[in-house]
Structure 1
Amino acid sequence: MKGIILAAGKGTRLYPMTKPVCKPLLPVYDKPLIYYPLEVLLQANVNEVLIIIPPGEETAFETLLGDGSELGISITYEIQSVARGIADALLIGEKFIDGDNFCLMLGDNIFYHPNLKNMIESAYDKSIGATVFGYWVEDPRPFGVVEFDQNGRAISIEEKPQEPKSNYIIPGLYFYDGQAVDIAKGLKPSARGELEITDVNLEYLKRQQLQVIPFEKDLLWFDAGNADSLFQAASAIRSLQKKGQYIGCIEEQAYKNGFISKEQMRRLGERISMSEYGKYLKRRS
């Protein structure tokens, strides 16, 4: 399966941290932020990944992740020269998508649940339409908000409403079929001057091809776009890992998928054996 990570944001809400380095390369506890969405894609059995990055960051990303061969996958890169919204990723990735089903993940979103892989299986097993997720938050106004009817079916989605119709928002994990590219081509920029992913989801809703799956309430989700959420994410990850629940380990997930062998995972751990991350890989192999 194919997956796209949109990792091209300037991270202006994190200035001055992101002046010398782009947001997806910032550390979140013991690993770069980009590791967390990449691990989610691996849990969705993605083995072809396109990472959309800002101009001038090619060397940094390639130094970190290379072409993906060490993980038994393919990683390629495209540049988003101008920030034109999340749905712009579908246009940038048109050639990569090539009419196939794919997963789109935001590069600053972190998800964790022991059963996350099973939660998203129904999304990538679907051959037609789109599947997104609902996540309950106290204040949904800064997000795309989804409204359900009494049967649990999504009936409306609003982007950043002042009077939300529910507390469920749609976080940055989306599964689409090949129609998504043509839908994105037909979008007009919003008042913010961006191509909104909510408008893509609304078109699928109009076609009665949108499935919204509410996440279990004990799932952890962080939109690591500001200093507070970055700190909260790092603190939660540290706490879980101290309890033995390791998060964001792309090498281990590649091994679980059968993309690399246990010996390959051990060798990857050997290279960074001076770190706790490397020691963990060695223990697991």
Structure 2
Amino acid sequence: MKALVLAGGSGTRLRPITYTRAKQLVPVANKPVLFYGLESIASTGIRDVGIVVGDTQAEIEAAVGDGSAFGLQVTYLRQEAPLGLAHAVLIARDYLGDDDFVMYLGDNFIVGGIDALVERFRAERPSAQIMLTRVTDPRQFGVAELDADGRVIGLEEKPREPKSDLAMVGVYLFTPAVHDAVAELKPSPRGELEITDAIQWLIDAGRGVQSTLITGYWKDTGNVTDMLEVNRLVLESLEPRVDGDVRDSELVGRVVVEPGAVVSGSRIVGPAVIGSGTVVADSYIGPFTSIAVDCRVNNSEIEYSIVLARSSIDGVRRVEASLIGHDVEVTPAPNTPRAHRLVLGDHSKVQISQ
């Protein structure tokens, strides 16, 4: 059995962060989201993983390498444009061969892993097995319709009028039968080859399609709100550890200070993690905050936020519910009456107190 991990796409909902970085590499608790998925796959005993990549291929390859750090053997498969999940299966046809496989969306986060799901698939081996979860707004997802006995009878991608509140989670398991379905697909109105259409083809052809309703935690980390929520969840299981230099400071609760970090004259209330090489001085770091490597936080307050590598926050009160990219400088604005000076990237969103 193999795995197919989708790590292409442009990450439009995380702009401007994803103008310069792959969305799958944005960190949660100072570890890229993609790494959690690769660890879940390795836990099932799968070793051969094909990673579908696009314009951010070089960055993904630099981060993951040959996969040996995860106990995996990774092959990179280039997708020239994000033309749908089923298109990713199409371009991976030669790599997958006649093996069963799990398809995992690289920006999804599932608590508890996928071991039980894979074990059930291996034992029962339907043509397709999907994971479902109840959502408040199914119009944003692929939606499944079940009959009275719980069998999957219909699927629809991002419907205007959903027939249920059951959304498909970004993990799918297939036998080689799915290749017959994909070969028959035509682009949807969105111009993509939809995996929902492929699974519907299997249903219509009388092939076995099973579903599992998950009650645990799942998130598609495609926007800032979901990234911060996943960061909060991961940090809640943090084990406190201080390997850096802490001086004249108070650490409360589950706090990790990585080697090479320096904390002085500050108060950190966990769960929170301070990356290696980061300096925190005369500041307050509040709960559910991840500060990456080589950052500087001076005379500032920040909580419920993610700060990426080499950024600085100096003299700012107060920052919260924020995602701050690499090499960013955050400082107080000049005290100029009735004026704001802004330098913003495309698609930015700014809230200004009046």
Q: Which structure: greater strand fraction?
A: 2
Deviation per residue, 1:228-270 (Å, 9 max, x gap): 1111111111113359xxxxxxxxxxxxxxxxxxxxxxxxxxx
Separation in structure 1 between the aligned mates of residue 236 and residue 110 of structure 2, nearest angstrom = 15
Give the AA of the match of 1:223. D
How far off its partner does 1:148 sit?
1.4
Matches within 5 A, 1:99-178: 99-113=98-112, 116-178=114-176
Q: Would the alpha carbon gap of residues 216 and 13 (structure 1) be closer, same or farther in structure 2, given more than 3 Å must change?
A: closer
Decide whether the 8 Å contact of 2:30 with 2:275 is kept in 1: no
Matches within 5 A, 1:262-277: none
Unpaired runs of 5+ residues, structure 1, are 244-271, 280-285
Q: Which residue of 2 aligns with 1:192?
A: 190
1:233 maps onto 2:226 in alignment: no
Decide whether the 8 Å contact of 2:143 with 2:167 is kept in 1: yes
Q: Would the alpha carbon gap of residues 273 and 79 (structure 1) be closer, same or farther in structure 2, given more than 3 Å must change?
A: farther
Separation in structure 2 between the aligned mates of residue 239 and residue 55 of structure 1, nearest angstrom = 34
Separation in structure 1 between the aligned mates of residue 275 and residue 122 of structure 2, nearest angstrom = 31
Q: Which residue of 2 aligns with 1:183?
A: 181
How far off its partner does 1:139 sit?
1.6
Unpaired runs of 5+ residues, structure 2, are 241-257, 262-272, 277-354
Q: Would the alpha carbon gap of residues 273 and 118 (structure 1) be closer, same or farther in structure 2, given more than 3 Å must change?
A: farther
How far off its partner does 1:99 sit?
1.6
How far off its partner does 1:50 sit?
0.6
Of the structure 1 ranges 90-99 and 65-74, higher mean CA displacement relative to structure 2 is found in 65-74
Deviation per residue, 1:187-211 (Å, 9 max, x gap): 1000010010100110111123243
| Matched residue SS, 1:10 | coil
Q: Which structure: greater helix fraction?
A: 1
Task: Kindly indicate whether structure 1 or structure 2 has the higher relative contact order, using CA contacts under 8 Å at least 6 residues apart.
Answer: 1
Separation in structure 2 between the aligned mates of residue 119 and residue 16 of structure 1, nearest angstrom = 35
Q: Over aligned residues, Cα RMSD in angstroms?
A: 2.5
| Matched residue SS, 2:238 | helix
Deviation per residue, 1:126-167 (Å, 9 max, x gap): 445111111111221111111111211111112212222211
Instruction: Please give the TM-score of this superposition, normalised by the length of structure 2.
Output: 0.65
Look at both structures and tell me which one has the larger radius of gyration over its CA atoms.
2
How far off its partner does 1:56 sit?
5.0
Separation in structure 2 between the aligned mates of residue 98 and residue 74 of structure 1, nearest angstrom = 16
Instruction: Please give the TM-score of this superposition, normalised by the length of structure 1.
Output: 0.80
Q: Which residue of 1 aligns with 2:220?
A: 223
Decide whether the 8 Å contact of 1:99 with 1:179 is kept in 2: no
Separation in structure 1 between the aligned mates of residue 119 and residue 134 of structure 2, nearest angstrom = 20
Separation in structure 1 between the aligned mates of residue 97 and residue 122 of structure 2, nearest angstrom = 17
Q: Would the alpha carbon gap of residues 242 and 211 (structure 1) be closer, same or farther in structure 2, given more than 3 Å must change?
A: farther
Q: Which residue of 2 aligns with 1:264?
A: none
Separation in structure 2 between the aligned mates of residue 163 and residue 7 of structure 1, nearest angstrom = 29
Give the AA of the match of 1:46. I
Of the structure 1 ranges 205-214 and 184-193, higher mean CA displacement relative to structure 2 is found in 205-214
How far off its partner does 1:70 sit?
3.5
Q: Which residue of 1 aligns with 2:48?
A: 48
Separation in structure 2 between the aligned mates of residue 45 and residue 108 of structure 1, nearest angstrom = 21
Q: Would the alpha carbon gap of residues 237 and 206 (structure 1) be closer, same or farther in structure 2, given more than 3 Å must change?
A: same
